[in-house]
Chain A
Amino acid sequence: MINILIADDSLIMRQIIKKNLQDIHDKLHIVEVVTGRKAILEMERANFNILFLDLSMPDVKHKHIDGMDVVTYLHQQKKIENMWVVIISANLTKKAVIKLEKFNITNFIPKPFDKDKFMSVVLPIFSELEEDFEEL
């Protein structure tokens, strides 16, 4: 079973990501969250193989924690080494990409969603995960 966390405030975006993932693999456990805060809470409770992370996720109820804050948390908790982080965002500026690469995050998918781009990033990750599972 591959454990996946999708952190994106857009229900429509989450549905599109989920459908494309289900087309790749039939044994997925997918958790969806709409804020950076909830993403951190989920990652404290469970381990995920892949995190799909939006950079901009408004939180009206709590202190705003955006995608970059989640990445900082992952870095501080040394979780980046143990999971694949895929940034899906409309805000992939050069500055943001440089900052993310410093955290060893190199998988980027720009919005609007495009299946071909998504697959070009995600299929190699699934291949590597399956190889890892076979070795276990």
Chain B
Amino acid sequence: MDYNYEEVCEVLGIDKELLEELLKEFLQNIDQNLEDIKKDLDTKDYSSLDKRVHALKGVCANLRLKQLEVELVCFDKLLKNSQLDTSFSYNETFDRLMVYSWSVKEYFIDLM
């Protein structure tokens, strides 16, 4: 994973200190967010799932966490196209999300 603090600060119009605070905020909540997504998947609450995925996608997009954003865009599209009928597609998508979230947490371990 690669992350250019300078570029992200520039595009968001904020300093590194605030960016680190926002990343910390994100990292503190990511496990709970993924847990909630998993719960919605298990209970097939696709309305709630859609909102959660959409919100998390927005946060990742704003913080320029590209890999996670790409996965969440795929997830969002699957949901919008109602392609989550099979356990395979959602489990596979969710597993990829977990993997990328681990890589993000590992990368920003100093902030945690």
Interface residues of A (CB under 8 A from B): 9-13, 15-16, 19-20, 23, 56, 58, 90, 111-115, 118-119
B94 within 8 A of A: no
User: Which of A10, A12, A16 gathers most chain B CB within 10 Å?
Assistant: A12
CA A11 – CA B61 in complex, angstroms? Answer: 14
B97 within 8 A of A: no
What B residues does A113 contact at CB under 8 A?
A: 11-12, 62
Question: Which residue of chain A lies nearest to B18 when distances are taken between CB atoms in the complex?
Answer: A19
What A residues does B21 contact at CB under 8 A?
A: 15
Expressed in whole angstroms, the minimum distance between the Cβ of A22 and any Cβ of chain B is: 10
B26 within 8 A of A: yes
Residues of chain B from 9 to 56 with CB closer than 8 A to chain A in the complex? 10-14, 18, 21-22, 25-26, 51, 54-55
Interface residues on B, range: 20 to 34
Interface residues of B (CB under 8 A from A): 10-14, 18, 21-22, 25-26, 51, 54-55, 57-59, 61-64
Selected from A9, A12, A23, the residue in CB contact (under 8 A) with B22 is: A12
Expressed in whole angstroms, the minimum distance between the Cβ of A39 and any Cβ of chain B is: 17
Query: What secondary structure prevails in chain B residues at the interface with A?
Result: helix
- Docked-complex contact B13 and A12, CB < 8 angstroms: no
User: Which of A10, A13, A113 gathers most chain B CB within 10 Å?
Assistant: A113
Selected from B10, B51, B57, B59, the residue in CB contact (under 8 A) with A12 is: B59
- Docked-complex contact B61 and A115, CB < 8 angstroms: no
Q: A9-B55, A12-B26 are in contact. Are A112 and B10 (CB under 8 A)?
A: no
CA A12 – CA B12 in complex, angstroms? Answer: 11
Q: A16-B22, A19-B18, A58-B51 are in contact. Are A10 and B58 (CB under 8 A)?
A: yes
CA A100 – CA B94 in complex, angstroms? Answer: 35
9 nearest CB pairs, A to B = A115-B13, A112-B61, A20-B13, A58-B51, A112-B62, A12-B22, A19-B14, A113-B62, A16-B12
